[in-house]
């Protein structure tokens, strides 16, 4: 089986090298592991840092947003004909040592999409992050009919079937909830696996904020009406 690790990155020169080099070189049952970083219009040295440590780097000339970067990753995964795709955040929040655990349900044909969830065990996440995620979970369920404990997790795994069938339209942060719309639309098997996030001062400054949650809500409403 061929595994592709896809990492969307925007101005992540501080962490991207460490994230790429932390990815396991060998995983039982996986014959090949490739890493692709999508430099989403960064104004820093993300491209150079990721290239230096051996990742394939695809560069957006302008910043398209998380959804735009994920669409590029999915297109690359289809082009490479990989069997499993894993997405990770570029800020170092995810422990790449959890990759074997996250892909296991796909490897054993128990799921098509696996979400690495932060909330099934006691978490040290900031309170604002917890509030945003719980609200997003409710909105995701109401709009798309899929229950999840972590709709905003960037640590995901997708089977070959999911890679071929998911059609993401969102360019912004709302893409995280749109994934669940696609799970429902394509009747994909879905599981959650507990992960332990690594919260640093740097990673806490990234991601969703209460200030942009209203915009994400309205973008999700537009997706529902499409």
pLDDT for 159: 98
pLDDT band (50, 70, 90) for residue 133:
confident
Instruction: Using the predicted structure, report yes or no on whether residue 211 has a pLDDT greater than 60.
Output: no
What is the 3 state secondary structure string of 62-119? Answer: CCCCHHHHHHHHHHHHHHHCCCEEEECCCCCCCCHHHHHHHHHHHHCCCCCEEEEECC
Q: What is the mean pLDDT of residues 103-130?
A: 83
pLDDT for 198: 82
Q: What is the mean pLDDT of residues 47-57?
A: 97
User: pLDDT per residue over 95-116, tens digit each?
Assistant: 999 999 999 999 999 999 999 9
Mean pLDDT, the chain, whole residue set: 89
Quick one: how far is CA 146 from the chain centroid? 17
* Residue partners of 85: CB distance under 8 A and separation at least 6: 3, 4, 6, 73, 74, 77, 157, 158, 162, 163
**Which of 2-16, 87-101, 111-125, 165-179 is the least confident region?**
111-125
User: pLDDT per residue over 53-74, tens digit each?
Assistant: 999 999 999 999 999 999 999 9
φ and ψ at 212, to 5 degrees? -105, 5
Structural domains in the chain, sorted by start? 2-225 (3.90.550.10)
pLDDT band (50, 70, 90) for residue 216:
low
Give the closest residue to 4 by CA, choosing from 30, 27, 36, 28. 36
Q: What is the mean pLDDT of residues 3-18?
A: 97
pLDDT for 138: 86
pLDDT band (50, 70, 90) for residue 203:
low
pTM: 0.88
């Amino acid at each position: 089986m061929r595994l592709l690790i896809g990492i969307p990155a925007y101005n992540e020169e501080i962490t991207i090298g460490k994230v790429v080099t932390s990815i396991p070189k060998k995983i039982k049952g996986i014959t090949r592991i490739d890493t692709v970083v999508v430099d989403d219009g960064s104004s820093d040295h993300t491209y150079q840092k990721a290239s230096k440590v051996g990742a394939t780097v695809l560069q957006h000339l302008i910043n398209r947003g998380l959804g735009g970067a994920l669409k590029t990753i999915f297109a690359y995964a289809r082009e490479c004909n990989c069997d499993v795709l894993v997405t990770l955040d570029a800020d170092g929040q995810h422990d790449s040592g959890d990759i074997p655990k996250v892909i296991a349900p796909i490897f054993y044909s128990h799921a098509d999409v696996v979400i690495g969830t932060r909330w099934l065990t006691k978490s040290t996440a900031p309170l604002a992050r917890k509030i945003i995620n719980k609200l997003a979970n409710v909105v995701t369920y109401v709009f798309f009919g899929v229950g999840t404990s972590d709709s905003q997790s960037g640590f995901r795994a997708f089977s070959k079937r999911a890679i071929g069938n998911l059609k993401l339209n969102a360019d912004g942060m709302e893409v995280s909830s749109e994934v669940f719309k696609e799970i429902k639309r394509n009747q994909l098997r879905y599981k959650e696996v507990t992960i332990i996030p690594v919260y640093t001062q740097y990673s806490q400054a990234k991601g969703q904020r209460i200030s942009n949650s209203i915009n994400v809500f309205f973008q999700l409403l537009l997706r529902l009406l499409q």
